Each structure stands twice: as structure tokens, then as C-alpha cells.
């Protein structure tokens, strides 16, 4: 087998899975099924190939991605896209990086937010695709359809008589229901999975022929990239010159060497709450419940709750998703329309579009418990050995109370150790830093007071995470 290098695309937003999925904390970083996040499941799914993996994500999610990769012990290099440019430029970057490892590298490209339940079948299909790709062909998985789906694009494939392979005849946009039913009857159409297996050198040849502008700017962005802690940061000025285009449109619809492997490994792109209901473990009334749920005479519902009790009485086919700051109630058949709610939140500049109440940082996280006129209360968690930046605020003072763990507080040039039930006051304008010198997480409560409490009132003097 040639050197096979997985390239995991982790740049999606997953807006149809709001309120769980947010702009700064998208669906691939959540545990929506099983014991791992969707990103972790994707990485573990191809771990048997051995060697290095590449994860391509955006700057805002880099520390969360790094934490999740480290948590499962995967050898992966994280490449940061300075701007979103669809799948073609990202995949070209993955191919160029793979050629640095091996001239005969085959790249296996997978979105980070897909579900695959039959791992044995997945391995069988991937092995077949790698063999085809090693013969200088460009391969994608076409999911064998199980219903007339209007939410997916399709691939029409035709058998090649010489070797019995399926050659790609056409890519087809999302159909209406009548057309989707005809596709299902014909047996020649497959769902477009967005998963690809390429000889890296062969892909680069086709991109150079079909999309030379993409190749030029990707090469320049890579040549001018810089190492930032454990990340590879692509050059923004070059990368943003790349056309914003998918690999389907840029290459696969135009090449004469496109082939398809039928894929029937219980796949879902988890594009809606209904999709999660479909793949979830159902009770005797066809309900799928996560969290603290009580149901009386309810059927076919999907409920996910993070903290509060959710009770259902006499309802059918509902989606109910509860988070700390939002509750979604929708009919399952309308779950694709959740994106319209996200668009409305974005238009109104609502914070619920961007982030959860709990915000993740490279040093840990904070939960905005309460806020009011001239005050706010946060629950802060600092990871063992981690430290916030040395900083000051122009408009607020802070009072810290340690709940558990050990805190090192720096005020000006003075440092002190605080333990459970001890506190410190940080006056407005004083340079300060919070660190956890211990071996267990530090939990504390912060009460901030002042005329302006937004997060942009931070002046950093030193920072261990390369933030401005």
C-alpha cells in the first residue's frame, strides 16, 4: 500500500444544528453521538492507516481542535486557513503538504462532521479506493441511496467495461422529490459524500491544468507560511487570492479520470436534527433522548438537553434542543429551516449566533453565569499548568474567589498563592495574571464591575498563546 495521509477538513459551521452548533463552536467539535466529538471520531476512523494526519481548520477554532487532537493521542499537524475558501484550496494545501512526506503519497480527504457507523465496511471501501487512486485516478465515495433525498447532491456513475470500475458521468445538484425518486429507481445515482481519495501528485497535475490560479496561490501561501506554536499558519495575503470554489466544481466535474466507489457504510452528513434522530438509538416510542428528559405519551421526538430538565407530554415528531442560553423547538420535518433562525440571529447581531454561554480559551474556559448593569459573574476553569495573559483593563475591576484547585495571582510585580475559599481583588488599571500551578483544574468565580465589561477591554503585555 502506498503512503496514505488523511486530510481532515474541519472548517464547517453546521448552522442547521443550532443551538448546539455555533459559529465559534461548530458541530464537528461537539459530542453528538458516542463518546467522542465528531472530529475525534473522524480522526480515529482512519487511525489504522498509521502515520501523520493533517487537520485544516480556521484560526478561531485552533486551540479547541488542538485540545481534541491531543486528548485522543493522534499524530496530526494542524493547518490554519486565514480565510474560508471552500474545499478546493484546502485540499490542494493538503496534497502539497503530503508530497513533502512522500512523492507517492495518496491523500484521503474527509470532512470532520460526518457519521460512519459500519467501520468494517468503511475500511473495505477505503482500501478499494486507495488501490484505484494509486493508479493515477481521482476517486470519490458515492453513498448508495436509501431514500429519495432532496438535501444531497448526486453523482451519476456508469460502469467501465474494461475493469468493471465506476466512472463518474456527472455531478447533479440537489433535486426535487420527483427527480430524487427517479434517481432511486434508476440505480445509477449516488449521494455525493464529499469524501475523496487522490494520488497527491496526480491531483496537483489536474489542478495545474484546470485551476492554475488555485495551485499558484496555494503554493505561495504554503511557502510563506509560518509556524505559530504547534500550528502552521498559511499566508493570508496569498491564500485569500484563491478562488472560493469546491473540489467538485474545480476538478471532479471537469477531469476525465474521475471514478467512484459505492459506499454503504451507514453514512450520514448529520446535516440536521432529523438526521441525528434517524441515526440515534430509539426507545419503544421512536424517541431519541440525550440528557435529563421525562416523556409522557410522546412519539418520534428528538431531545438533547445540557442542564435543565425537559418534559414532553402528548407531542409527536418534535425536536427540542436545550443549551444554557437558548432552546430550540421545531417539527422534525422543518429541521432544515433552523438555518433561517441562525440567519436572523446574525442579522440582529445576537451573540447566540456566535458562541455559547461557555466560551473556550487555550488556557481553559469561562461560563458567563450572570450579567447586569455594571456587573457580570463568570465561572472560570484554568487547565493544570496553564496561564492567562499578563493583562490589564481600562474599565473594570475584578474580584476572584477560588472554588477548588490552586491559583497563582500576579498583581503588578507581586505574586501570591490562593487556595479554596480565598480571594483576590484586582483594581481597575492594575496589571495582573491568573495561573494554575497545580496538577488539577482550577475553578474560580470572577465578579467584574465597571462601566464597560466587554471582552475587548483587555490590554495584553505577555501571552503564551501568540494572541495579540
**Quick one: pLDDT at residue 201?**
97
262 pLDDT more than 70: yes
Q: Across the chain, what does the average pLDDT equal?
A: 94
User: 52-66, 152-166, 325-339, 442-456: lowest mean pLDDT where?
Assistant: 152-166
User: In the chain, which residues fall in CATH 2.60.120.10?
Assistant: 358-462
Residues 60-82, mean pLDDT to the nearest whole number = 94
- Nearest alpha carbon to residue 222 among 207, 236, 210, 203: 236
| Alpha-carbon dihedral 110, 112, 114, 115, rounded to 10 degrees | 110
The whole-number average pLDDT for the span 249-276 is 93
Residue 248 DSSP class: I
SS3 call for 447: strand
Residue-wise pLDDT for 181-202, tens only, equals 999 999 999 999 999 999 999 9
Please state the rounded mean pLDDT for residues 352-375: 93
If you write DSSP's letter for every residue of 274-316 in order, what string do you get? HHHHHHS---TTS-EEESSEEEES-BS-EEEESSS-EEEES-B
Q: What is the pLDDT of residue 161?
A: 60
Q: What is the pLDDT of residue 90?
A: 97
- The pLDDT confidence band at residue 151, using thresholds 50, 70 and 90, is confident
Flag whether pLDDT at 162 surpasses 70: no
The per-residue pLDDT for 197 is 98
Query: For residue 51, what pLDDT is reported?
Result: 86
Going 132 to 270 to 239 to 213, the CA torsion angle's sign is positive
pLDDT on residue 156: 95
Architecture of domain 4-268: Alpha-Beta Complex (3.90)
What pLDDT, on a 0 to 100 scale, did the predictor assign at position 397?
A: 97
Q: What is the pLDDT of residue 468?
A: 67
Number of H helices, E strands in the chain: 12, 30
- Contacts by 344-350, CB closer than 8 A, 24 or more apart: 345/18
For residue 15, what are the CA distances in angstroms to 25, 202, 374?
10, 34, 33
Average pLDDT of the residues in 402-420: 96
Tens-digit pLDDT profile for residues 426-438: 999 999 999 999 9
pLDDT above 80: residue 467: no
pLDDT digits (tens, 9 = 90+) for 104-113: 999 999 999 9
% of the chain at pLDDT higher than 70? 99
**Average pLDDT, integer, range 74-84:** 95
pLDDT band with cut points at 50, 70 and 90 for residue 349? very high
The domain at 358-462 falls in which architecture?
Sandwich (2.60)
> What is the maximum alpha-carbon separation in the chain?
79
In the chain, which residues fall in CATH 3.90.550.10?
4-268
Mean pLDDT to the nearest integer, 173-178: 92
3-class DSSP assignment, residue 48: helix
pLDDT at 63: 92
Amino acid at each position: 500500500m502506498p503512503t496514505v495521509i488523511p486530510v481532515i477538513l474541519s472548517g464547517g459551521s453546521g448552522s442547521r444544528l443550532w443551538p448546539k452548533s455555533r459559529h465559534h463552536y461548530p458541530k464537528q467539535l461537539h459530542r453528538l453521538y458516542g463518546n467522542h466529538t465528531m472530529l475525534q471520531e473522524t480522526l480515529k476512523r482512519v487511525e489504522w492507516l498509521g502515520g501523520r494526519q493533517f487537520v485544516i481548520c480556521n484560526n478561531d477554532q485552533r486551540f479547541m481542535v488542538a485540545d481534541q487532537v491531543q486528548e485522543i493521542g493522534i499524530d496530526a499537524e494542524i493547518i490554519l486557513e486565514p480565510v474560508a475558501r471552500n474545499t478546493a484550496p484546502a485540499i490542494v494545501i493538503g496534497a502539497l503538504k503530503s508530497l513533502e512526506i512522500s512523492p507517492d503519497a495518496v491523500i484521503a480527504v474527509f470532512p470532520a462532521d460526518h457519521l460512519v457507523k459500519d467501520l468494517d465496511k468503511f475500511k473495505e471501501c477505503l482500501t478499494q479506493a486507495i488501490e484505484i487512486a494509486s493508479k493515477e485516478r481521482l476517486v470519490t465515495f458515492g453513498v448508495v441511496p436509501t431514500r429519495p433525498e432532496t438535501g444531497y447532491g448526486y453523482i451519476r456513475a456508469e460502469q467501465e467495461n474494461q475493469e468493471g470500475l465506476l466512472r463518474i458521468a456527472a455531478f447533479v445538484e440537489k433535486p426535487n422529490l420527483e427527480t430524487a425518486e427517479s434517481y432511486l429507481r434508476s440505480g445509477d445515482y449516488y449521494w455525493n459524500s464529499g469524501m475523496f481519495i487522490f494520488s497527491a501528485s496526480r491531483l496537483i497535475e489536474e489542478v495545474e491544468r484546470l485551476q492554475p490560479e488555485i495551485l499558484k496561490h496555494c503554493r505561495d501561501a504554503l511557502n510563506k507560511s509560518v509556524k505559530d506554536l504547534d500550528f502552521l499558519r498559511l499566508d493570508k495575503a496569498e491564500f485569500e487570492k484563491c478562488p472560493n470554489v469546491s473540489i467538485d466544481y474545480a476538478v471532479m466535474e471537469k477531469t476525465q479520470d474521475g471514478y467512484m466507489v459505492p459506499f454503504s457504510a451507514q453514512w450520514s452528513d448529520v446535516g440536521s436534527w432529523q438526521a441525528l434522530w434517524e441515526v440515534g438509538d430509539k426507545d419503544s416510542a421512536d424517541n431519541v433522548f440525550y440528557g435529563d428528559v421525562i416523556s409522557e405519551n410522546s412519539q418520534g421526538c428528538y431531545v438533547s438537553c445540557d442542564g435543565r430538565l425537559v418534559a414532553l407530554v402528548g407531542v409527536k415528531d418534535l425536536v427540542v434542543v436545550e443549551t444554557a442560553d437558548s432552546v430550540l423547538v421545531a417539527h422534525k420535518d422543518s429541521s432544515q429551516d433552523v438555518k433561517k433562525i441562525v440567519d436572523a440571529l446574525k442579522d440582529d447581531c445576537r451573540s447566540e449566533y456566535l458562541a455559547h454561554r461557555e466560551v473556550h480559551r487555550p488556557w481553559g474556559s469561562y461560563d458567563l453565569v450572570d450579567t447586569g448593569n455594571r456587573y457580570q459573574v463568570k465561572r472560570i476553569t484554568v487547565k493544570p499548568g496553564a496561564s492567562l495573559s499578563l493583562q490589564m483593563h481600562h474599565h473594570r475591576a475584578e474580584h476572584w474567589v477560588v472554588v477548588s484547585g490552586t491559583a497563582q495571582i500576579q498583581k503588578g510585580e507581586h505574586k501570591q498563592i490562593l487556595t479554596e475559599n480565598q480571594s483576590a481583588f484586582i483594581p481597575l488599571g492594575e496589571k495582573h495574571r491568573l495561573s494554575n500551578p497545580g496538577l488539577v483544574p482550577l475553578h474560580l468565580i470572577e465578579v467584574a464591575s465597571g462601566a464597560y465589561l466587554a471582552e475587548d477591554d483587555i490590554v495584553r503585555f505577555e501571552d503564551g498563546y501568540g494572541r495579540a
